[in-house]
A and B are shown apart, each in its own frame.
Chain A
Amino acid sequence: MMPPTTLARRAAPVLACIGLLALWQVAALALKNDSFPTAIEAIRAIPSILGDKEALINIIASLRRMAIGFGVAVFVSIPLGLMMGRSRAVAAFFNPLLMVIYPVPKAALMPIIMLWLGVGDITKTLVIFLGVSLPVIYHSFEGAKAVEEKMLWSGAAMGLSAAQRMVWIVLPASLPEILTGCRTGLVLALITMITSEMIARQSGAGNILFNALDMGQYDTVFAMIIIVGAMGIGLDALFERVRAKLVRWSEPQFDIPLSFS
């Protein structure tokens, strides 16, 4: 049996979604505007999008770019962030570069990248990569910096080399912080994915959305917003499950009544 608090926690997001949709429905009915379909109209348009082969190919292409951009970013950013957190020289080298890149909206770089690399997959994937990298680097850096020195000393006394300590101590010790960065990165990947397709209109979920907008198919526009939103919520929830499992050991625990005697 699920305790009532767990039940409430699980039900809360669902209730929030239903509430939002209901609010939308009422607002759309009240405004009676052509460019603002009701929630029910938008939801009705979803099956025809997901049933359309062309649209499906577009959405899958988007997801593929997002997965590659996110994957490569995580793969590169975690080691970089960890090394920056443990080595003053590495941090001093990369910090100025990151400080410059950090506040620039990654989508604003798109025109330049498009000029160099064209409007294809590479450009869009690169923008996603850039969007994901910074939070992951930052959180990996913070995580590695906070690793207790005595823990590393204990490892060194057991015979772990500097490289081994990085992999077997710094990495797991920083994992809670790293995964926090990855979670932010995942949402940013979705955002930069849509933005990039909005700028380089050629394929993808963002492209369907803005084409529909151009043609005045507002129910499709809103249906796409729902689809993209659901993808974001789904991915985030999935990631959160994996994260919680991986760092169970670090979550504070208040209810274990143990004392040694």
Chain B
Amino acid sequence: MAEPVATRKPASSIIEIEHVSQIFQTSARKDHQALSDISLTIEEGAFVSILGPSGCGKSTLLYIVGGFVSPTGGAAKMKGKTIAGPGPDRGPVFQEFALFPWKTVLGNVTYGPRQQGMSASEADAQSRALIEMVGLKGYESFYPKELSGGMKQRVALARTLAYHPEVLLMDEPFGALDAHTRTRLQNDLLNIWERDRKTVLFVTHSVDEAVFLSDKVVMMSKSPGRIRQVIDIDLPRPRRRNELLLDPRYQKYVVDIERMFDESDEVGSRS
């Protein structure tokens, strides 16, 4: 028997976004098209950034993949199955952290694995190791209100990693942090990611951040949100910030993308 010829996609694709569009009903009774005909394939183990100006629908796209929002047109698929709702195979990390404030750091991190049926002692041991990995050893019994923004986002990352999602969905996770903390978290995220190479879909509006972290940058433009261009970032890994900043290839990516970014911003603001 011959293999079906139609399966031209690489076998390793994990998420397929097919002609997704999203129309929001706004209060002014006018429909607002946030996303228009988005098609995108994300390969397993890839670090993919979605880059675009504010309001171009980046978060909406990520929420659709997360299953938190259902698209008004098209479909998003995970491993060939249409995404119908949230699930532990896709772990979100939000800009707002969204930690459970009534739980301690450890309580937050063990929550997912416990929910997935892991025994208390196993979840505890695993969570302590994760907390150490994100650099928060010693803070296990702290409540979220006692932590800085950067620490909260570390907890949020550990909390999501704890239930072993196949795909990490990060929505401007470092957007609310100061520049110094942001850089540190980028470095740490990259270190963690380079260990197990989970698929990551990472939303950002920072060009540096996208180029530094990603294998692939998906550039979006605004009104309606469309994919403008997909750029492969062909830089060696493991990446070290101090080396990369001096690398002319890195600099060229940043300059090129920044130029496109500015243009797409102008396109967006014309409407």
Q: Which of A159, A250, A253 has most chain B Cβ within 10 Å?
A: A159
Q: How far is the CA of A253 from the CA of B142 in the complex (A)?
A: 12
- Contacting residues of chain B (157-208) with chain A, CB-CB under 8 angstroms: 159-160, 163, 165, 181
- Contacting residues of chain B (112-157) with chain A, CB-CB under 8 angstroms: 112, 115-116, 135-136, 143-148, 150-151, 154
The smallest beta-carbon distance between B164 and chain A, in angstroms, is 11
Chain B residue numbers with a CB within 8 Å of A159 are 87-88, 112, 115-116, 163
Contacts known (A157-B165, A158-B111, A258-B146); A173 close to B102, Cβ less than 8 A: yes
Chain B residue numbers with a CB within 8 Å of A156 are 67-68, 85-86
Query: Is B66 an interface residue, CB under 8 A from the partner?
Result: yes
Identify B102's interface contact among A150, A175, A259, CB under 8 A. Answer: A175
The smallest beta-carbon distance between B187 and chain A, in angstroms, is 13
Query: Is A116 an interface residue, CB under 8 A from the partner?
Result: no
Grouping DSSP codes into helix (H, G, I), strand (E, B) and loop, the B interface class, with mixed when no group exceeds half, is: loop
- Contacting residues of chain A (143-167) with chain B, CB-CB under 8 angstroms: 148, 150-151, 153-154, 156-160
**What are 27 A-B pairs at a CB distance below 8 A?**
A150-B98, A153-B68, A153-B94, A154-B92, A154-B98, A154-B159, A157-B90, A157-B160, A158-B88, A158-B115, A159-B87, A159-B88, A172-B100, A173-B102, A175-B102, A249-B103, A249-B143, A249-B144, A250-B101, A250-B102, A251-B145, A253-B146, A256-B146, A258-B146, A260-B136, A260-B151, A260-B181
The smallest beta-carbon distance between A189 and chain B, in angstroms, is 26
Q: Are A249 and B102 in contact (CB under 8 A)?
A: yes
Q: Which residue of B lies closest to A150 (CB)?
A: B98
Query: Is B225 an interface residue, CB under 8 A from the partner?
Result: no
Categorize the interface residue count of chain B.
35 or more
Q: How far is the CA of A158 from the CA of B66 in the complex (A)?
A: 12
Chain B residue numbers with a CB within 8 Å of A250 are 101-102, 145
Q: Are B146 and A158 in contact (CB under 8 A)?
A: no
Contacts known (A148-B98, A153-B66); A158 close to B116, Cβ less than 8 A: yes
Q: How far is the CA of A153 from the CA of B22 in the complex (A)?
A: 19
Q: Are B115 and A150 in contact (CB under 8 A)?
A: no
Contacts known (A253-B145, A260-B181); A153 close to B88, Cβ less than 8 A: no
Query: Is B44 an interface residue, CB under 8 A from the partner?
Result: no
Chain A residue numbers with a CB within 8 Å of B37 are none
Q: How far is the CA of A148 from the CA of B146 in the complex (A)?
A: 19
